[in-house]
Each structure stands twice: as C-alpha cells, then as structure tokens.
Amino acid sequence: MPSSKILATTFDLHGVYPCPVCRFGKISHMPLMETMYCNFCQEIFTINVEQQQIKMPSRQPPLTWRWNGFNWTEAQLEGVELGWGYLLAAVAFVFFPTILIGIGAYYYPPDAHIPLSWIPYIWTVLTFLLHLAIILWIYIEIYQIPVATYLRAMVRWRSGANN
Ligand SMILES: [Zn+2]
C-alpha cells in the first residue's frame, strides 16, 4: 500500500491516533478485534478502514469521526444533520420570548414608585438566560458523551487509579 508518511497519513489498524473523545489519550488497535481502544478515557471504537471512520457505539445514535489524514473531523451523530434550520430555531427560541417580555417591560413599565418595579427587567434577563441555558443543555445532551467521558477520565487520572 503506498503511503506518504511525511504529510497525510491514512487511517489503518496498525497506527496510533489521537483520541477524538478526550483529545488526550491515544487510540490503538485491540488485538483480535475490529476495534480500537483509548489508553486514557478507555472508550472503545469500531473501525471502518474503507471509509476512514471510527464509530463510538457506546451511545445511541453512535457518534462517528472521519480521519482526514491529519486529524479527526468534527463528531457526527449517525443519521442526524444539525443544519441551519436547527440553528435558526435555537436563536428564535432564545430571543423571541426575551423580546416579547422586553417589549412588555419597555412599553408598560410599572410605576417606578411601587416596590419591586424592577421585576419586569430582571424577568427579561432571566428569560434570556434560562432559554439560553436550555439550548446549551440540549447541545451538551446531544454531544454529552465526549464531555462526560472527558470529565470522568480526568477524575480517574487525578485520583491515580488509572489501572
Ligand atoms: Zn480518549
């Protein structure tokens, strides 16, 4: 098999590659199995050499990464395409209620002399922060395994119980 080892490398069973999950460990082939294993976060990947892909089957739908010769591409959820529609929906979800409440607070301000007259403004800010938090939570939920696995591996590493 011809290979240009100086620059781009092809992904094969015998190489050692950076782990796409923790970005700290190295993944290498497990003997007798069609899988690779990270020496840091201990995640297991199935291999597809023809498509230069690895898949993390420990979650559903599985996350896949493609080797581009130098590095792993962005994680992709199998069968899920997070396009512009989702982004627009997320932006609308954050800003639409915030703007509605903000308009209400602006055009119908409570009498400044009554107690708690600042509540509509605080409410507007809270609406924004809460809706933003929901979007962030959904995003982390979709890609949660890399985050969770990374944190778990760091804890294990720091406590020295790596073996
Ligand atoms: Zn790893």
Task: Give residue-wise pLDDT tens across range 102-128.
Answer: 998 888 887 878 888 888 889 999 999
Inform me whether the pLDDT recorded for 132 exceeds 90: yes
Distance 104 CA to ligand 1 centre (A): 49
99 within a domain of the structure (yes/no): yes
pLDDT digits (tens, 9 = 90+) for 26-53: 999 998 888 999 998 888 999 999 999 9
Asked if 47 and 95 sit in the same domain, the reply is no
* Domain's final residue, options 62, 77, 92: 77
CA 131 to chain centre: 19
- Asked if residue 130 is part of any domain, the answer here is yes
Q: How far is the CA of 39 from the centre of ligand 1 (A)?
A: 7
Q: Are 123 and 91 part of one and the same domain?
A: yes
What range defines the domain where residue 57 resides? Answer: 17-77
Count how many domains the chain has. Answer: 2
Helix, strand counts (H, E) of the chain: 3, 7
* pLDDT given for residue 3 in this prediction: 46
Between CA 54 and CA 21 the distance in angstroms is 11
Could you list the beta-strand ranges (E) of 6-43. Answer: 17-18, 26-29, 35-38
Is there a single domain that holds both residue 88 and residue 112?
yes
Q: Are 36 and 20 in contact (CB under 8 A)?
A: no
Distance 146 CA to ligand 1 centre (A): 9
Please tell me the distance between residue 111's alpha carbon and the centre of ligand 1 in angstroms: 58
Q: Is residue 8 part of a domain?
A: no
